[in-house]
Structure 1
Amino acid sequence: MSSPGALSPKLKVADLTGKVAIITGSTRGIGKECAIALAKQGCNIVIAAKTTKPEPTLPGTIYSVAEEIEKLGVQALPVKVDMRSLDNIKECVRLTVEKFGRIDILINNASALWWQNIVDTPMNKYDLITQINARGSFAMTSLCLPHMAKNGFGRVICMSPPIQTGFRAFKGFTAYNISKFGMTMCAMGAAAEYEGKGITGHSLWPATIIESQASKNFELGGRDQWRLAAILSDAVLGLVSAPDSYTGHQLIDDEYLQEEHGLTSEDLAVYRCDPNVEPSRALAEAAHGHRSESDGLKRGDVRKLDKDLKQSSGFSKL
């Protein structure tokens, strides 16, 4: 029998009844998909995000997602959180413990995108992405870990790429990599410092562009080259269900599902946005140090998308 939260019928997921997950950036896209998947497994969800009023380019609010979650038979707690604000993060953790008395799962998903050369990166943009991505994830992780430790169970998952050492991986991505590798280091630190104490840490990154509001707003290729966000939520379900001994991994979604859960390349077809087209694994190739697909790709302020598109030569196959 397939697990209710998983898209793949092959995935076997633990019963999460009574568990509590904080998911940052969970009003849409990957974060929301993870929230729904965990809720279907019985997990209570804290929607920690900034959007409280719907906007044309940013549908969904912490309240609308909370309503959807509660229709699945679990409890939801919407909390307005700006990941740049330590006070917001502290209040989110306080309210979570006040309502549920525990924290079991943290998914650091909230993130800001900036794919530009060093000289095209103003310090205010550098500060923005590092404050949201690296600093925000570190703060949330540090505040959640003590509560996980009390119950001897915790799962920290950061939506961030494997750390690379080859210098060419930084061409056009220096500031972004600093911020995203910082998220990965948070997960690795949690794994190392709590090894053997029931708490695990992992980073998780997509092999392909994922269908989301960001991929639409930033025009990251066509839908036939995207996968559904469910591939990441399925991977999250697997990691949450994994034994405590499985920890400290920097993972690519499809590789993890194949290596640890036995999915075949044919099984992965369920995650295609276009059922007839297998998307390019451009992000996986880049994460493994092969930048040919993304060389010259530029994205920054969505209001300056036309300029970025004219300057971009990357993702030519998308």
Structure 2
Amino acid sequence: MRETGWMMRLLGPTEIRILADKLDLRPTKKLGQNFVIDGGTVRRIVRAADLSPEDVVIEVGPGLGSLTLALLPSARHVVAVEIDPVLATQLPLTVGERGLGDKLTVVAADAMRVSLADLGGYTPTALVANLPYNVAVPVVLHLLEALPSLEKGLVMVQSEVADRLAAGPGSKVYGVPSVKAAWYADVRRAGPVGRTVFWPVPNVDSGLVSLVRRDPPATKVSREEVFAVIDAAFAQRRKTLRAALSSWAGSPPAAEEALRGAGVDPSARGEQLDIHAFARIAEHKPEPAASPNR
């Protein structure tokens, strides 16, 4: 008989250890493997994700299936992207034992390279994941770009990363991740997560981050051109934008010209600007000076 709703039998510490022993699993820092062993935490994540019965969820790094099992009753389908082939093979078995195998697709792939064509014909509308700490930011940015169907997301990341993703202009931790994420979505902190809900226990705290898709800034230039300005502005974040953008623009005077054209004070610094200001600067990049005829 199929288990439904919160009656789903989730994975606790004992089940996680039994599965790990069965698979001879030794969690690795290289893959950022810290498995959630607390049912209350995964239920909290699913509640915060605010899923509808029509949502197709993409989950990155499902591991042994702690969060997957909590997601399945709340979504139409879950597409789990797992880079570890042993875990990718085991997950359908774990889910199948609970009668929900028809609601799960496992993709054995690197989430940094996955595209819509890899997802078994499903079009994800929500990202919900306990992301590997070492690749959390690039994975989020890649999926928001590669999967424009994503309308929302709820991800668990290292606490400091959560702060950076959700930071606004003027914050000490506002930087490249904050601005680039803001190109795609409204981003906010959605609560803390303690260390003891994981096995093995990490040496850092975690945090939940909520993302709600929005239109990017209206601009005449490409996302890549805007991101090039962001990268340049924060590569030397202690410098004024006139100095920090000199290589990008071709010279300090050219950088000042672009900044003034965009309505930005050349003595400002990158952490003072929002995504719209960076888009305006990209639009005003001066044309390269023509080479004199010999």
TM-score by length of 1: 0.39
Identify the structure with the greater strand proportion: 2
Point out which structure has higher relative CO (alpha carbons under 8 A, 6+ apart).
1
Q: Which has the larger radius of gyration?
A: 2
TM-score by length of 2: 0.41
